[in-house]
A and B are shown apart, each in its own frame.
Chain A
Amino acid sequence: MLSIIKTMSLQGLDGYLIDVQVDVTGGIPNWDIVGLPDTSIREAKERVRAAIKNSGFELQSRKILVNLAPASTKKEGSLFDLPIAIGILCSIEKIKKENLEKTVFIGELSLDGRINSVRGILPICIECKKIGVKRLIIPSVNSLEASIVNGIEIIGVNTLKQVVNFLNNEEKILPSKTDWTDVIKNINKLSLDFSDVRGQEEAKRAIEIAAAGGHNILLIGSPGSGKTMLAKRISTILPDLSFEEALEVTKIHSIAGTLPKNLPIITNRPFRAPHHTISPISLVGGGRIPKPGEVSLAHYGVLFLDELLEFNRNTLEVLRGPLEDGIVNVSRANASLTYPCNFMFVASMNPCPCGYYGAKDKECTCTPQAITKYMGKISGPLLDRIDIQIEISQVKYEKLDNMQKNETSQIIKERVNKARKIQIKRYKNEKIYSNSELTPKLIEKYCKLNNASKEILKNAFERLGLSARAYGRILKVARTIADLQDCINIEKRHIAEAIQYRSLDKKYWKN
């Protein structure tokens, strides 16, 4: 007898519907799965057989044929176990058919009949809602994550037996529900805070500007000057994620399987700090079975590359596209996928090979040539995408002791939020959200200078020997500084401050 069960699989960030067609007939006992299954699906046979048996049902020797439709696309993953098992039980009339209407099954079986968690539940759930599925039966471990989507009945189940009982109306399971506003209220507060960083006022200010305008930032400093400490706190001053943004971030993390167990949805902006031995593929995403890379996991958050120059040159160069476009296209034999990767790029590095060029109490032992060569390792095009570069110097212990004002992340965040709002309002017709996205044409339109500012910029270029590529960057940063102070026009002082955050343009790097 034939039965058709609905399930869903993932392609990139989106789910797509799959029919699991099961036919159980008499004949020579045999079991076949067709429809381009991968190894993990072929192995489902053994899991399903054992799970059915261990759930107390008898599976007589029959001829079983399973087809995964559409039959032309490759399928992978263990989430087909549950729908196959349900299909078989349905065909041998252990389950009443009327309850299968508009229901999607997802889950991996273990041999004793328990249902294990799967990855990528959230995007599946969103897709289900879109195509009008009424009920979703999923592993109970995943139900918290799925329940953030409203308007669809989420049934979390633990065992195969429980599913059968539920479908035969012998057991009641309440749908899981989560309220977004509740989640927001109970966000586990980040333990990091900017008030932990003391004495680095200049660096904090630069980071605040970077956060307010979405600018990428490079921190240059000797070992122990606090680069990493500062970078780790950047995500605490970024504006809160909106529900749509949170959903998108969670989708990516759901697919990558990096979602925290106790949270249905990611509410804090992600902070990703891959080690410098990372390969280009793990950075941008890909692999035989394409998976989102670090750039996508940092979507709407911060990608921090500590010790930038230790990264393989090839690895760094693959960042150029994602930094510019905010998306990654991964083309593989199986599929061509697009992952979003709109992140704030933060990098840190030493000023020279020995690490102490310009340090206060340690002598730098590098020759000028060595320093030039070291700095030359960052490619121009990559540097071109970093608006703010600052040098950080070590703060002495005695100075740390009696320190004035220490702003918390919350206070800084409020200012950042305000500046962001101004930008969103200004660019509502331009399809961009922040100053960092301004194109040369838009710079001309939105970063108009008065004569005094023009004069100062011209002088700066002559006297400080700034490079031409710095021009647009300075204007963008100046625009953000003006926004932070709620000024409509860019004034002389904004330009003056913006130029201070172009450390690598200072003369002493050009030996």
Chain B
Amino acid sequence: MSPEKLYVQGNIHLLSKNSIAIVGSRNCTQYGIKYAEKFAKDLSKNNICIISGLAKGVDTISHISALAERGKTIAVIGTGFNNIYPEENKDLYKKILENDGCIVSEFEPEEKVDISKIPRRNRIISGLAIGVLLIEARYRSGSNITARFAIEQNKELFCIPHNLETKTGYGPNYFIKMGAKLVTQAKDILQEFELLEENKIAIDSQYEEIYKYISAVPITANEISIKTNKNISDINEALFMLEMDGIIKCIPGNKYIISE
């Protein structure tokens, strides 16, 4: 059932990048929104491309969050390029293209919206990704289909845990039971592929020497000064710049630690 051909708009090189698909309900909960956003942002920060289906709900959140972090994102759509569905995501479609993202479809550009054909794109979503993250899915949800495709295609399937009493948690909880990996943070996904590199975040070379001394153990500017024999004014400048970049954090007592 592999597609005969793929239409690609935008940056075609993204297709060969490491990508994670984030899928979930169109009709999502606050819980789903929160974690779709968190995972999409954290993965983007680590240079992972986010794939989703340009649908409402979790899909939209994932695309927007990736763009917000200046990350890359691929939208696989179930219609032709000239008939974006749903209508209100037309702006998002343009925004993805403007930000060096890419749109993929197996349909002719002029193909009309046919709701029954849309779920077919799910196999492409899982196919392009190295792993699929399932945020939310009710008992009979399209997202479950994507998850099943992922298993068939031998891709990694990740799920966030849910309260057993929520309906939207049915899909993820079910797949966890079947052996999908339970994840609580983006790091868990990265570790699976050994994509997690220390110091992934770009650090200005002039601050690198000071950054080396900051760890999970709190340290003060004084102690850094004693260890490095550097001027306190340089250290304070570096600490401030690192804090501004979100790399380190200031805690009570004016001490510094690595931010998570």
User: In the complex, which residue of chain B has the Cβ closest to the Cβ of A399?
Assistant: B226
Query: Given contacts A357-B252, A508-B252, is CB(A403)–CB(B236) below 8 Å?
Result: no
**B246 CB contacts on chain A under 8 angstroms:** 463
Among A391, A464, A500, A507, residue most surrounded by chain B Cβ atoms (within 10 Å):
A500
| A493 and B254 contact, CB distance less than 8 A | no
Task: Give which listed residue, B222, B237, B240, B255, contacts A200 with CB less than 8 A.
Answer: B222
A391 vs B222: C-alpha distance when bound (angstroms): 11
A205–chain B nearest beta-carbon distance, Å: 4
User: In the complex, which residue of chain B has the Cβ closest to the Cβ of A403?
Assistant: B226
Instruction: List B222-246 residues whose CB lies under 8 Å from chain A.
Output: 222-223, 225-226, 229, 232-233, 236-237, 239-241, 243-244, 246
| A393 and B241 contact, CB distance less than 8 A | no
| A499 and B226 contact, CB distance less than 8 A | no
B234–chain A nearest beta-carbon distance, Å: 8
Interface size, A (range):
35 or more
Interface string of A471-482 (1 = CB under 8 A from B): 000000000010
Query: Given contacts A360-B253, A390-B254, A508-B250, is CB(A496)–CB(B237) below 8 Å?
Result: yes
| B240 and A393 contact, CB distance less than 8 A | no
| A395 and B222 contact, CB distance less than 8 A | yes
| A357 and B232 contact, CB distance less than 8 A | no
| A205 and B253 contact, CB distance less than 8 A | no
B228–chain A nearest beta-carbon distance, Å: 10
Query: Given contacts A393-B253, A508-B252, is CB(A481)–CB(B233) below 8 Å?
Result: yes
User: In the complex, which residue of chain B has the Cβ closest to the Cβ of A405?
Assistant: B229
| B254 and A393 contact, CB distance less than 8 A | yes
**A499 CB contacts on chain B under 8 angstroms:** 240
| A497 and B237 contact, CB distance less than 8 A | yes
User: Using a Cβ–Cβ cut-off of 8 Å, how many residues does chain B contribute to the interface with A?
Assistant: 24
* B68 CB-CB contact with A under 8 Å: no
| A205 and B252 contact, CB distance less than 8 A | no
* B216 CB-CB contact with A under 8 Å: no
Interface string of A347-361 (1 = CB under 8 A from B): 000010000011110
| A202 and B225 contact, CB distance less than 8 A | yes
* A367 CB-CB contact with B under 8 Å: no
**A390 CB contacts on chain B under 8 angstroms:** 254
| B244 and A463 contact, CB distance less than 8 A | yes
* B9 CB-CB contact with A under 8 Å: no
* B8 CB-CB contact with A under 8 Å: no
A464 vs B244: C-alpha distance when bound (angstroms): 8
A223–chain B nearest beta-carbon distance, Å: 13
| A202 and B226 contact, CB distance less than 8 A | no
* A506 CB-CB contact with B under 8 Å: yes
A399–chain B nearest beta-carbon distance, Å: 6
Task: Give which listed residue, A201, A391, A460, A501, contacts B253 with CB less than 8 A.
Answer: A391
**A395 CB contacts on chain B under 8 angstroms:** 222
A396–chain B nearest beta-carbon distance, Å: 9
A483 vs B59: C-alpha distance when bound (angstroms): 54
User: In the complex, which residue of chain A has the Cβ closest to the Cβ of B220?
Assistant: A393
* A459 CB-CB contact with B under 8 Å: yes
Chain A, interface SS category: helix
**A393 CB contacts on chain B under 8 angstroms:** 220, 222, 253-255
Instruction: List B60-74 residues whose CB lies under 8 Å from chain A.
Output: none
* B221 CB-CB contact with A under 8 Å: yes
* A503 CB-CB contact with B under 8 Å: yes
**A359 CB contacts on chain B under 8 angstroms:** 253
**B232 CB contacts on chain A under 8 angstroms:** 201-202, 204-205
Instruction: List A432-483 residues whose CB lies under 8 Å from chain B.
Output: 456, 459-460, 463-464, 481
User: In the complex, which residue of chain B has the Cβ closest to the Cβ of A352?
Assistant: B252
* B251 CB-CB contact with A under 8 Å: yes
User: In the complex, which residue of chain B has the Cβ closest to the Cβ of A199?
Assistant: B222
Query: Given contacts A202-B232, A404-B229, is CB(A358)–CB(B240) below 8 Å?
Result: no
User: In the complex, which residue of chain B has the Cβ closest to the Cβ of A460?
Assistant: B244
Task: Give which listed residue, A202, A460, A481, contacts B221 with CB less than 8 A.
Answer: A202
Query: Given contacts A399-B226, A459-B244, is CB(A500)–CB(B236) below 8 Å?
Result: yes
**A507 CB contacts on chain B under 8 angstroms:** 250
User: In the complex, which residue of chain B has the Cβ closest to the Cβ of A359?
Assistant: B253
Task: Give which listed residue, B220, B233, B244, B252, contacts A456 with CB less than 8 A.
Answer: B244
| B229 and A496 contact, CB distance less than 8 A | no
Query: Given contacts A393-B220, A459-B244, A506-B250, is CB(A201)–CB(B226) below 8 Å?
Result: yes
A475 vs B246: C-alpha distance when bound (angstroms): 23
| B255 and A358 contact, CB distance less than 8 A | yes
| B244 and A202 contact, CB distance less than 8 A | no
A359 vs B254: C-alpha distance when bound (angstroms): 10
**A204 CB contacts on chain B under 8 angstroms:** 232
A384–chain B nearest beta-carbon distance, Å: 21
User: In the complex, which residue of chain B has the Cβ closest to the Cβ of A404?
Assistant: B229
Query: Given contacts A199-B226, A201-B221, is CB(A497)–CB(B252) below 8 Å?
Result: no
**B250 CB contacts on chain A under 8 angstroms:** 506-508
**A481 CB contacts on chain B under 8 angstroms:** 233
A165 vs B92: C-alpha distance when bound (angstroms): 106
Besides A358-B255, A508-B251, 11 other CB < 8 A contacts?
A201-B226, A351-B252, A359-B253, A360-B253, A391-B254, A393-B222, A395-B222, A497-B236, A500-B236, A507-B250, A508-B250
12 contacts between A and B (CB under 8 A): A201-B226, A202-B220, A202-B222, A357-B252, A357-B253, A358-B255, A359-B253, A391-B254, A393-B254, A456-B244, A499-B240, A500-B239
- Contacts from B to A (Cβ < 8 Å): 218, 220-223, 225-226, 229, 232-233, 236-237, 239-241, 243-244, 246, 250-255
- Contacts from A to B (Cβ < 8 Å): 199-205, 351, 357-360, 364, 390-391, 393, 395, 399, 403-404, 456, 459-460, 463-464, 481, 493, 496-497, 499-501, 503, 506-508
In the A-B complex, the 8 residue pairs with the smallest Cβ-Cβ separation, listed nearest first, are A358-B253, A358-B252, A391-B254, A496-B240, A500-B236, A205-B232, A496-B237, A201-B225
